[in-house]
Structure 1
Amino acid sequence: MTVLTDNPQSPFYEQLLCAVDKQLLHLQDARGKFLLDKVHERNMKYYIHNVVDKPWNNHLLLVIYVYSDNNADVGTIYNVIGNIHSRLKDIFDVFQLENMTEFDVETHMYQYLKGSYYQEHSDSKRKELLKWYRAVSYNKKKWITTKLNSSKQSYFDQYLFPMPSYDSRDFPFTKSATEQAHNTRKNETDVIVPLLPQIRAEGHFRWNQLNRLRQAFLKACEQAKKTNCPLPLEFHYDEPERIGERFYFRLWDKPAFALLHPDQFPSSSLKSAYKRIGAYSEDNNQYFVEFIKAECLEEDDEAEGLWFMELFEKGVIGQWFANATDEEIKQKRALLYSWGYGEEGKGRNPQPFSSRHKGVLATSTFISRYQHIAEGTLLDVEPLYAAVTFGLLAVDIFTTTGARLNELLQISNTRECIRKVKVENKLNYSFYAIPKGRDEVEPFYISEQTMKLIQLVAKLLKDHYGSEKIPSVKYRYSRSHLFPVPKPYFFQYHNNSFTEFTVWACLRFLLHGLNFESKEGKPVVIKTHLLRHAFATEAVQRQGLPIDIVAKILHQRDIGVTEYYAEPTPSQVAQSVSDLHDVISDYVDLDETVLRSPEELEKELEEYKQQVGVFNNVLGGTCVTAFVCPTKMQCLGCQAKVPQPEKKQELEEVIELSKDMEKRFTKMNLPVEVKKAKTMRKYARNELKEIELIEKYREEQKYEPHIQFDRR
């Protein structure tokens, strides 16, 4: 390998200089790039905080190098080093080992795996150790053999983990742990799969509700500024008929809130609030609302209010345990466990609604500090609106493409990422991202509905930044070394791109309270990877797609038992994705920043027309498949069709026609044709249900509540 005199540029270099092997610290790849510079900061922070002073520090640093050089996912590397480090620490403690030369994998690890020690450890924990340890042993040896010259191989062999003579078949825990994990995942997936359309629809309904609150908030702010009326300004509005409730609020700003609660603020703060200086100046001021109550408009039932109110009322937003007493922590932890967030008995404080990102779901310091003195519940509206907007786009992409989290976060407002082609005045879209374990971008086919939501996020960002352009920011998640150049990523806010924690928090906030339960009665929490599993299950079990094609759609390399399947063509993959889209959309105008020149578009259109047919209006909707018809022109029930509410009457006529056909074929003793007629009716009714959901959230998008300002 080429030896360079320069040092690594990693910000962690100085901290490691005297703590690890210097040759290891300066190890380079085949292109002369320091391996340390390729390691994600998340994994280096974990290493420095937990591993650097342990006897196995050099061994694990080499593991990080090898997996990073092989383009392993950041989360995978984190899990590998975390698992091996934790178990080595246990083993060294129980056997009182002091260095790696004393460690004998055939004795010490074997005794642990047999259960001779730490009987309280689960079968899954032992299984994970053996799995990752053997994988690390193999991958490190292979990497050293193939990537280093003979002299370096001899030197770095000292940091290999010896391969054990035993494997998972030698221990009874393997089958037990595997079955338990499989059953858990299967049970959770079974709950989610049939509800994917409802999950998307509920996401839209909730975004609509938060958008109504935001519009009312902005109008109240405008009213306060225009009339110069004293705060608080009380207002209320009615929700749509589907909800049938009236919401009451107060509009505050910081000075007004302080001056009307004088016994809760020091005299210096009251003086600043009165003069509107310092922390209470115009530059530091903020408007916020106080949710007073919700009441039913017609029935005498108890109003539900905003779906997320209990999260604020129970005080579990953000790092809720920071200033809590031991009793409060105990109560809130039990509440979060009951909702399915975290595992009871682990002694940890779950943070399901901590975005770890400024301006997204996070409550301002002022509101957090003085929430307890308000009559109602204080809310920062803009961070909540940002959370549901990003959450809605994430739900849509996860459930219609099966994309991974790191692929979602790569979506940027660039022509290299967002691509389109126009056929017969219809735009068809895809985004390009680098999948897990790859180095080159691959296409992810998306619908017009997804593009509409991307444009919604684009508008949010432009309003937030007060600019017509989305700023370029540094990529901060998995394998960031592949994305060294800042880009205008859609998942960003306050000049920082998102990490996994922000997306998780947005999803949980948007979908909280839907109360999914397994057959055993255990709560099921929506997770990004669970949605990916649900997408795959929907594709294989409900749509009957071959597993090898699903593997291509999911951008997976290993299809295991499906190796006998033929390699699917790109047209099969694109066609299959179109089959799975279960969406309704309006025409979407793309930003000029992603529009191609007329020459490029014309050229691509001609190439496209040579490969595909013309998109046509079909029964109950519009065909969106770009390739060979998947149902041989049997359009009713085809997932390659976008149902349109405007064509609802056509489906209603089909239902009546199918009834007549069933009677005729029954008289003619044609049971197969009778079955076809029943199937036709079932498909038409299913599409009508989909259209009904779309009509409802479309109607609510247009609903503008009349805001009443209450004079004091």
Structure 2
Amino acid sequence: MVVATLKPQSPFYEQLLGKVDEKLLHFRDAREYFVLDKMNEEYLKYYINKVVDKPWNNHMFLAIIVYFEKNTDVRTIYKVLADINPRLCNLFKYFHLTKMKELNIETHMYQYFKGSFFKEHSDNMRSRFLSSYRSCSYATKKWVSTKIPEEQQYYFEQFLFQMPSYDSRDFTFTKSAKEQARNTRKSETDAIVPLLPQIRAEGHFRWNQITRLRDAYLKACEQAKTLNEILPLDYYYDEPERVGERFYFRLWDRSSFVLNHQQHFKSATIKSAINRTSYYSEENNHYFVEFIKAERLKDDEEAEGLWFTELFENKLIGTWFQNSCDDELKQKRDFLFSWGYGEANSNSNPVPFESNHKGILTSSKFVSLHQDKAEGILFDVEPIYAAATFGLLTLDICTTTGARINEFLQISYTSECIKTVKVDNKYRYFFYAIPKGRDELEAFYISKQTMEILQSVRLMLQTHYNTDKIPSVKYRDERKHLFPDAKPYFFQYHNQAFHKFTIWASLRFLLHGQHIETQEGKVVVVKTHLLRHAFATEAVQRQKLPIDIVAKILHQRDIGVTGYYSEPTPSQIAQSVSDLHDVISDYIDIDEAVLRDPEELEKELEEYKEKVGVFNNVIGGTCVTDHVCPIKMACLGCQAKIPEPEKKHELLEVIELSKDMEKRFSAMGLTVEVKKAKAMRKHARTELKEIELIEKYREEQKYEPDIQIKK
């Protein structure tokens, strides 16, 4: 193959020239292309800012080449750099080292792992460093010995990290770090389990708000086009009564923004904006908004405004730390740490709102670059609408099915994936996916609400692509070898399927600012895997579903893992025995369920095959359990049921019935039955509260903002 260039064309090439070994910098892949030209800017910018002037810069650059050649994802490469580089900085400074050959990993590094110094470093920090260092050492050594011609191997071996003779089993911090992570997870689960209905509702309220914002924006764009309004166009609209605020916006395009801020732009740029040429032509132009302010409508309280504006105001969307001075870094880190993103005792730069996907959350380069020139807060509407929509779908699936990311990323708009059946004149829904550790499709049962959100995603994608079909794209996340064929996946944008990082960023964005704390006062960030733990804990500990049935719902083979997921939280352990009896007296004994062997389980499963299941109505909602009833038709309070507002009257009748039952059983002296009646009423009231939240956000979905143009 003829090489088109004699040197890399990467914009980072000049910054690296003379600082990185020449052979590494000019390394070519099997097709004779410069590897540097294909590297991602996210980890390259970190390398330039943090590593390039360090004694181990060539070692780390070789590692980047190796991981890139292995097709490792961007975030993993970044993580390896971020795990290793700070700790090497610590070691070199502590021992006054200046060259890599001075570093003795059997003494210097070993003492660090033994905790002889830097005692303020957490077990998790030491564990991550050792794990990433060993993995990096092994991967680079194997790559050099198998991918580099034998006559060149000696040269590249000088840039290999030495492999230590010890591993994680030689240190107590590994076990401690795992126990700490386990305790943290359970403590966080404890915090969010009671709040699951509120978290779901808040997600819907926020999506409704973003939808209203987008509708108003599109109306303003249409008015600007049809009436030839001169931009900027100021407009406002009123939020529903629950919010009670008026939002003020300003509609811009690139040309109008430049012409109204000429003092900040060069004459050539102003001329191009006036003539609408090049970057400012009609073809390249696009609209964006400036959020001016929010004001209360009926009282003098301080307006809350949009929940996400502080993220844009503080420039925390995307890879925020690039080109930031030390004071800015500290200020932004402190803000993120205060909301639970990252570890406050580290020098890391967490990027909770980096989607790693074009068109999701991050505004255009023009809008991001000129944010500080505006009076208010600039942002593009479509990226935040897309992020909120995908975030809502993620939240709904996680809290109603407990599915893993790599399972719901498989959902595609195909008849093989999504199934619908009609039973008793009502539709029931499920999707098929290959669970973790399997290679065959299994069914995941979903509610009507989940299907409605999927339809919202479908419509958004059709609008985005300007087509009646969702395009087929290649699956890109873990286990992609199982899905070689392109499919019309729901989790996609700009002709690329999502990685899990995009899911995480979208969910964080949708739920940012909800103040949830553990009993120890630590701020909790809602994560997909945490929701899975919460789903399991709620099902086993609060609703008393048998643990082996929960394993089926979660598609887990190892019941021991399900046991870990569903362990009682500190709050649940602290409940008094009498309260516990009041809540669970009408449920089956969990101790018996945990100890059953497969034959006993099969026998009991047969007994459970009653007339309640995934295709039947139950009191107050719809059952979504796979063809068996896990709690012998004690449907009130069951985690396998989705409450439906249309069945609110059934719960009200149950409350009245329970009152009558309590009186009758009290007169008969049947104490246990009295407790069952009270528990029935308690569960019904709990479900009524969740239904009230559902009714509120459904009502707001019908609210259309009436925009007013401010002349």
Contact kept, 8 Å, 1:549 with 1:572, in 2: the verdict is: no
Structure 2 match to 1:425: 425
Question: Cα–Cα, structure 1 residues 260 and 568, in superposed 2: closer, same or farther, change >3 Å?
Answer: farther
Q: CA deviation at 1:627?
A: 2.2
Structure 1 match to 2:597: 566
Task: Please identify, of 553-562 and 519-528, the stretch whose mean Cα deviation from structure 2 is larger.
Answer: 553-562
Instruction: Write the distance in 2 (CA, Å) between the matches of 1:560 and 1:657.
Output: 40
Structure 1 match to 2:535: 535
Question: Cα–Cα, structure 1 residues 634 and 406, in superposed 2: closer, same or farther, change >3 Å?
Answer: closer
Question: Cα–Cα, structure 1 residues 659 and 350, in superposed 2: closer, same or farther, change >3 Å?
Answer: same
Instruction: Write the distance in 2 (CA, Å) between the matches of 1:267 and 1:87.
Output: 48
Amino acid of the residue matched to residue 448 of structure 2? E
Instruction: Write the distance in 2 (CA, Å) between the matches of 1:203 and 1:268.
Output: 45
Q: Which whole-Å deviations, capped at 9, do the CAs of 1:534-574 have from their partners, x for residues lacking one?
A: 22222222222343443343333444487964349999999
Instruction: Write the distance in 1 (CA, Å) between the matches of 2:104 and 2:263.
Output: 64
Structure 1 match to 2:238: 238
Give the alignment of 1:228-377 within 5 angstroms: 228-377=228-377
Amino acid of the residue matched to residue 597 of structure 2? A
Question: How many residues matched?
Answer: 627
> SS at 1:199's partner residue?
helix
Structure 1 match to 2:654: 654
Q: CA deviation at 1:240?
A: 0.7
> SS at 1:516's partner residue?
coil
Question: Cα–Cα, structure 1 residues 517 and 407, in superposed 2: closer, same or farther, change >3 Å?
Answer: same
Amino acid of the residue matched to residue 277 of structure 1? T
Q: Which whole-Å deviations, capped at 9, do the CAs of 1:453-478 have from their partners, x for residues lacking one?
A: 11211111110000111111222222
Task: Please identify, of 307-316 and 84-93, the stretch whose mean Cα deviation from structure 2 is larger.
Answer: 84-93
Contact kept, 8 Å, 1:548 with 1:568, in 2: the verdict is: no
Amino acid of the residue matched to residue 521 of structure 1? G
Task: Please identify, of 515-524 and 324-333, the stretch whose mean Cα deviation from structure 2 is larger.
Answer: 324-333
Structure 1 match to 2:516: 516
Structure 1 match to 2:150: none
Amino acid of the residue matched to residue 375 of structure 1? E
Question: Cα–Cα, structure 1 residues 327 and 533, in superposed 2: closer, same or farther, change >3 Å?
Answer: same
Instruction: Write the distance in 1 (CA, Å) between the matches of 2:272 and 2:425.
Output: 60
Instruction: Write the distance in 2 (CA, Å) between the matches of 1:633 and 1:682.
Output: 17
Q: CA deviation at 1:395?
A: 1.1
Instruction: Write the distance in 2 (CA, Å) between the matches of 1:492 and 1:393.
Output: 13
> SS at 1:363's partner residue?
coil
Contact kept, 8 Å, 1:339 with 1:523, in 2: the verdict is: yes
Q: CA deviation at 1:291?
A: 1.3
Task: Please identify, of 544-553 and 303-312, the stretch whose mean Cα deviation from structure 2 is larger.
Answer: 544-553
Structure 2 match to 1:461: 461
Give the alignment of 1:483-494 within 5 angstroms: 483-494=483-494
Structure 2 match to 1:400: 400
Contact kept, 8 Å, 1:113 with 1:126, in 2: the verdict is: yes
Structure 1 match to 2:156: none
Instruction: Write the distance in 2 (CA, Å) between the matches of 1:194 and 1:472.
Output: 39
Structure 2 match to 1:31: none
Amino acid of the residue matched to residue 553 of structure 1? I
> SS at 2:189's partner residue?
helix
Task: Please identify, of 622-631 and 438-447, the stretch whose mean Cα deviation from structure 2 is larger.
Answer: 622-631
Question: Cα–Cα, structure 1 residues 621 and 250, in superposed 2: closer, same or farther, change >3 Å?
Answer: same
Contact kept, 8 Å, 2:318 with 2:355, in 1: the verdict is: yes
Q: Which whole-Å deviations, capped at 9, do the CAs of 1:570-604 have from their partners, x for residues lacking one?
A: 9999999xx9xxxxxxxxxxxxxxxxxxxxxxxxx
Q: CA deviation at 1:310?
A: 1.2
Structure 1 match to 2:153: none
Amino acid of the residue matched to residue 674 of structure 1? V
Instruction: Write the distance in 2 (CA, Å) between the matches of 1:90 and 1:573.
Output: 58
Instruction: Write the distance in 1 (CA, Å) between the matches of 2:250 and 2:643.
Output: 42
Runs of 4+ in 1 over 6 A off after TM superposition: 49-53, 72-96, 102-105, 107-110, 128-138, 159-164, 568-576, 609-614
Question: Cα–Cα, structure 1 residues 556 and 638, in superposed 2: closer, same or farther, change >3 Å?
Answer: closer
Structure 1 match to 2:470: 470
Q: Which whole-Å deviations, capped at 9, do the CAs of 1:408-465 have from their partners, x for residues lacking one?
A: 3222222332233333333333323333343333333322222221121111111000
Q: CA deviation at 1:670?
A: 2.3
| Pair 1:495 & 2:495 matched | yes
| Pair 1:688 & 2:673 matched | no
Q: CA deviation at 1:250?
A: 1.6
Instruction: Write the distance in 2 (CA, Å) between the matches of 1:267 and 1:90.
Output: 48
Task: Please identify, of 514-523 and 471-480, the stretch whose mean Cα deviation from structure 2 is larger.
Answer: 471-480
Instruction: Write the distance in 2 (CA, Å) between the matches of 1:574 and 1:221.
Output: 58
Structure 1 match to 2:412: 412
TM-score using structure 2 length:
0.75
Equivalent pairs: percent with the same residue? 63
Question: Cα–Cα, structure 1 residues 559 and 302, in superposed 2: closer, same or farther, change >3 Å?
Answer: same
Q: CA deviation at 1:235?
A: 1.5
> SS at 2:370's partner residue?
helix
Question: Cα–Cα, structure 1 residues 281 and 684, in superposed 2: closer, same or farther, change >3 Å?
Answer: same
CA RMSD for the aligned pairs?
4.9
Instruction: Write the distance in 2 (CA, Å) between the matches of 1:244 and 1:574.
Output: 51
Instruction: Write the distance in 2 (CA, Å) between the matches of 1:207 and 1:73.
Output: 30
Q: Which whole-Å deviations, capped at 9, do the CAs of 1:136-170 have from their partners, x for residues lacking one?
A: 999xxxxxxxxxxxxxxxxxxxx998997x984x7
| Pair 1:225 & 2:225 matched | yes
Q: Which whole-Å deviations, capped at 9, do the CAs of 1:49-95 have from their partners, x for residues lacking one?
A: 9999769x99x989x99xx9xxx999999989997999999999989
> SS at 1:431's partner residue?
strand
Amino acid of the residue matched to residue 327 of structure 2? E
Q: CA deviation at 1:120?
A: 5.7
Amino acid of the residue matched to residue 484 of structure 1? P
> SS at 1:518's partner residue?
coil
Question: Cα–Cα, structure 1 residues 670 and 498, in superposed 2: closer, same or farther, change >3 Å?
Answer: same
Q: Which whole-Å deviations, capped at 9, do the CAs of 1:31-56 have from their partners, x for residues lacking one?
A: xxxxxxxxxx99xx99xx9999769x
Give the alignment of 1:80-229 within 5 angstroms: 113-116=113-116, 121-126=121-126, 168=169, 172-173=172-173, 176-229=176-229
Q: CA deviation at 1:264?
A: 2.4
Task: Please identify, of 647-656 and 198-207, the stretch whose mean Cα deviation from structure 2 is larger.
Answer: 647-656
Structure 1 match to 2:7: none
Question: Cα–Cα, structure 1 residues 671 and 345, in superposed 2: closer, same or farther, change >3 Å?
Answer: closer
Instruction: Write the distance in 1 (CA, Å) between the matches of 2:363 and 2:248.
Output: 20
Structure 2 match to 1:645: 645
Question: Cα–Cα, structure 1 residues 693 and 613, in superposed 2: closer, same or farther, change >3 Å?
Answer: closer
> SS at 1:359's partner residue?
coil
Where does structure 2 lack aligned partners over 5 or more consecutive residues? 1-22, 31-38, 139-160, 564-593
Instruction: Write the distance in 2 (CA, Å) between the matches of 1:213 and 1:461.
Output: 18
Q: CA deviation at 1:133?
A: 10
Contact kept, 8 Å, 1:574 with 1:626, in 2: the verdict is: no
Instruction: Write the distance in 1 (CA, Å) between the matches of 2:382 and 2:307.
Output: 17
TM-score using structure 1 length:
0.75
Give the alignment of 1:376-391 within 5 angstroms: 376-391=376-391
| Pair 1:667 & 2:667 matched | yes
Q: Which whole-Å deviations, capped at 9, do the CAs of 1:5-55 have from their partners, x for residues lacking one?
A: xxxxxxxxxxxxx99xxxxx99xxxxxxxxxxxxxx99xx99xx9999769
Instruction: Write the distance in 2 (CA, Å) between the matches of 1:268 and 1:468.
Output: 42
Task: Please identify, of 507-516 and 223-232, the stretch whose mean Cα deviation from structure 2 is larger.
Answer: 223-232
Task: Please identify, of 214-223 and 627-636, the stretch whose mean Cα deviation from structure 2 is larger.
Answer: 627-636
Contact kept, 8 Å, 2:613 with 2:629, in 1: the verdict is: no
Instruction: Write the distance in 2 (CA, Å) between the matches of 1:111 and 1:372.
Output: 47
Instruction: Write the distance in 2 (CA, Å) between the matches of 1:610 and 1:194.
Output: 30
> SS at 2:234's partner residue?
strand
Question: Cα–Cα, structure 1 residues 174 and 365, in superposed 2: closer, same or farther, change >3 Å?
Answer: closer
> SS at 1:249's partner residue?
strand
Structure 1 match to 2:505: 505
Q: CA deviation at 1:700?
A: 0.3
Amino acid of the residue matched to residue 684 of structure 2? A
Instruction: Write the distance in 2 (CA, Å) between the matches of 1:176 and 1:614.
Output: 42
> SS at 2:705's partner residue?
coil
